[in-house]
């Protein structure tokens, strides 16, 4: 009798063990490894260097056309998500992106004064909330949210005879564009031709 009870207990333990290991939900799953790589843009003529996510899960950098509405405009750099590059409409508005506009600051104005005198470029007239003070590297700057075709975060920096407007456009507050904006701004360094 004792032998039969021991066999029954052994069978029950084996059945429970088989059931447990075949129905476990905490088994490790295959994790997707991020394919984000970082690229560095550096241009001594613009006096600017920054890092941005590149590759299939990142951004494509292009130089925009010169703006004819301002003789002070030097260059616009545009970062679009890789997945949006093929979605550029002809003659219409493109997808949101991160833009860096560079202007001459011939009057040597502060970032806030320049932004207020050049609203067509800074969109400070469309600000939502207050203008904040910040630093990019060790350079004083201003930051603010603005509305328009897309909501955007904006940082305006006046440095070495130039004004840099960094704009991160987004459709929703949880977007990759919004998440990637602050690290890009934090990576900005001001360089000269000699540093390249």
Beta carbons within 8 Å of 77's beta carbon, 6+ residues apart = 41, 61, 62, 63, 64, 99, 100, 101, 102
How do beta strands 162-170 and 151-159 pair? antiparallel
Query: How much is the average pLDDT of 167-171?
Result: 93
What is the total count of domains within the chain? 1
Q: What does the alpha-carbon distance between residue 143 and residue 146 come to, in Å, rounded to a whole number?
A: 10
**pLDDT at position 17 over 90:** no
Choose among 151, 183, 186: nearest CA to 169.
Answer: 151
Assigned domain for 100 exists: yes
Q: Per-residue confidence at 93, pLDDT binned at 50, 70, 90?
A: confident
pLDDT digits (tens, 9 = 90+) for 112-153: 999 999 999 999 999 999 999 999 999 999 999 999 889 999
Q: What is the predicted pLDDT for the residue at 10?
A: 44
Assigned domain for 22 exists: no
Q: What does the alpha-carbon distance between residue 94 and residue 71 come to, in Å, rounded to a whole number?
A: 24
pLDDT digits (tens, 9 = 90+) for 170-192: 988 888 889 999 999 999 999 98
The order of strands in the sheet holding 151-159 is 59-63, 73-81, 98-104, 162-170, 151-159, 139-146, 127-136
Query: Mean pLDDT of all residues in the chain?
Result: 83
Assigned domain for 13 exists: no
CB atoms within 10 A of CB 36: 13
- Between 103 and 23, residue with greater pLDDT: 103
Handedness of CA 170, 176, 182, 183 (dihedral sign): negative
Choose among 166, 177, 99: nearest CA to 134.
Answer: 166
**pLDDT at position 103 over 70:** yes
Assigned domain for 190 exists: yes
Q: What does the alpha-carbon distance between residue 196 and residue 183 come to, in Å, rounded to a whole number?
A: 22
**pLDDT at position 3 over 60:** no
Placement of tokens 């590059």 in the chain:
85
Assigned domain for 150 exists: yes
**For residue 71, what are the domain limits?**
37-87+94-195
Assigned domain for 6 exists: no
Q: What is the CATH number of the domain that holds 124?
A: 3.40.1000.10
Q: What is the predicted pLDDT for the residue at 2?
A: 57
Assigned domain for 74 exists: yes
Alpha carbon distances (Å) from 63 to 76, 99, 134: 6, 10, 26
């Amino acid at each position: 009798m004792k032998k039969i009870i021991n066999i029954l207990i052994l069978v029950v333990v084996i059945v429970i063990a088989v059931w447990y290991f075949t129905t476990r939900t905490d088994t490790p799953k295959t994790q997707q490894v991020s394919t984000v790589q970082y690229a560095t843009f550096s241009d001594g003529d613009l006096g600017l260097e920054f890092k941005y996510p590149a590759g299939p899960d990142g951004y494509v950098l292009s130089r925009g056309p010169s703006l004819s509405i301002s003789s002070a405009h030097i260059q616009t750099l545009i970062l679009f998500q890789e997945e949006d590059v093929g979605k550029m409409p002809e003659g219409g508005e493109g997808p949101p992106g991160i833009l860096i506009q560079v202007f001459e600051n011939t009057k040597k104005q502060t970032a806030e004064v320049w932004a207020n005198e050049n609203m067509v470029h800074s969109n400070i007239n469309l600000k939502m909330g207050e203008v904040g003070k910040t630093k990019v590297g060790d350079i004083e700057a201003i930051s603010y949210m603005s509305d328009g075709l897309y909501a955007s975060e904006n940082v305006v920096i006046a440095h070495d005879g130039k004004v840099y407007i960094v704009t991160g456009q987004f459709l929703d507050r949880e977007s990759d564009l919004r998440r990637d904006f602050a690290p890009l701004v934090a990576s900005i360094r001001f360089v000269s031709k000699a540093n390249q």
